[in-house]
Amino acid sequence: MRRLLLSLVLLGVTQAQAAEPVRIAVAANLLPVMEQIAKDYQQQTGAQVQLAGGSSGAFFEQIQRGAPFDLFYSADAVRPDKLAAAGTGAAARTYACGRLALWVPLAAPKLDALPAGKIAIAQPDTAPYGKAALQTLERSGQLDALKPRLVYAQDIGQTFQFVTTGHAPSGFVALSQLTAAKTPTAQYVQVDAKLYDPLVQKRVLLAKGERQAAAEAFLAFFDAQHETLRAAGYALPGEVDCAAD
């Protein structure tokens, strides 16, 4: 009887562990498409996924302090590489390269003729798309003139909100956000990739032990979503504007 009860308890523990969601930290630019991929994964496999969207820099700090994420999809390559080098994570790989866009909902989107008022960008110290926006203004020779008008959001998600709500009449956002929102193409223009460093985006496996298999299963599913990522506005590893590892 005791042996039976122990077996039942162990079975219950195993089932509870299997039912636990894969916890994924997702850079804000990727969140809209990741939500769709996670939904498809859950429908096809029955496995649960828990997403948290935000700044890559903020997630990096949280993970270093022990935040219990199983996977981290960053908006850059540096942070996943650092986590892998430190032994906190493993298998850091490029999953896509992002593209920057200038969004001006109420005027013609021209980089050399931005409308009056604030210009929203993500915080360049923690958000790779914010850094790319700053590089764009610097390399186009406009940074000194426009710097007083810049308003900094905590991540690219909040940058999108600033423009959506009219807090800023223009802003530099991820092309993937505009694609996901079905934004009219007349409202934005893709920024010339020569004006900013490549937005190489890597993911890193953080899960260990009994959680690793579930995380790897999601990785395999995500890595097969080439057309979904391409349609969302990303370049894929090996393409002209996205070097492979």
Write down the pLDDT at residue 19.
Answer: 67
Q: How confident is the model at residue 240 (pLDDT cuts 50, 70, 90)?
A: confident
Residue, of 1 and 9, whose pLDDT is higher? 1
SS3 of the chain: the string is CHHHHHHHHHHHHHHHHHHCCEEEEEECCCHHHHHHHHHHHHHHHCCCEEEEEECHHHHHHHHHCCCCCCEEECCCCHHHHHHHHCCCCEEEEEEEEECEEEECCCCCCCCCCCCCCCEEEECCCCCHHHHHHHHHHHHCCCHHHHHHHEEEECCHHHHHHHHHCCCCCEEEEEHHHHHHCCCCHHHEEECCHHHCCCEEEEEEECCCHHHHHHHHHHHHHHHCCHHHHHHCCCECCCECCECCC
What pLDDT, in 10s, does the model give residues 31-66?
999 999 999 999 999 999 999 999 899 999 999 999
The answer to whether residue 13 scores a pLDDT higher than 70 is no
Give all strands of the β-sheet with 199-205 in edge-to-edge order: 49-54, 22-27, 71-73, 199-205, 90-98
What pLDDT, in 10s, does the model give residues 195-230?
999 999 999 999 999 999 999 999 999 999 999 999
The answer to whether residue 1 scores a pLDDT higher than 60 is no
Instruction: Average the pLDDT over 186-194 and give the result.
Output: 96
What pLDDT, in 10s, does the model give residues 106-154?
999 999 999 999 999 999 988 889 999 999 999 999 999 999 999 999 9
pTM of the model: 0.84
Pair type for strands 22-27 and 71-73: parallel
Same CATH fold assignment for domains 2-97+200-231 and 100-195: yes
Write down the pLDDT at residue 4.
Answer: 39
Write down the pLDDT at residue 18.
Answer: 52
Write down the pLDDT at residue 241.
Answer: 77
Nearest to 33 by CA among 58, 15, 51: 51
Say whether domain 100-195 belongs to CATH 3.40.190.10.
Answer: yes
Instruction: Average the pLDDT over 13-21 and give the result.
Output: 57
Q: How confident is the model at residue 91 (pLDDT cuts 50, 70, 90)?
A: confident
Residues in CB range of 123: below 8 A, 6 or more apart: 55, 57, 130, 152, 153, 154, 155
Write down the pLDDT at residue 5.
Answer: 35
Write down the pLDDT at residue 238.
Answer: 87
Summary mean pLDDT of the chain: 91
The answer to whether residue 236 scores a pLDDT higher than 90 is yes
Evaluate whether 120 touches 159 at the Cβ level (below 8 Å): yes
Instruction: Return d(Cα 50, Cα 185) in angstroms, integer.
Output: 32
| Domain range list for the chain | 2-97+200-231, 100-195
CATH number of 2-97+200-231: 3.40.190.10
Instruction: Return d(Cα 135, Cα 98) in angstroms, integer.
Output: 15
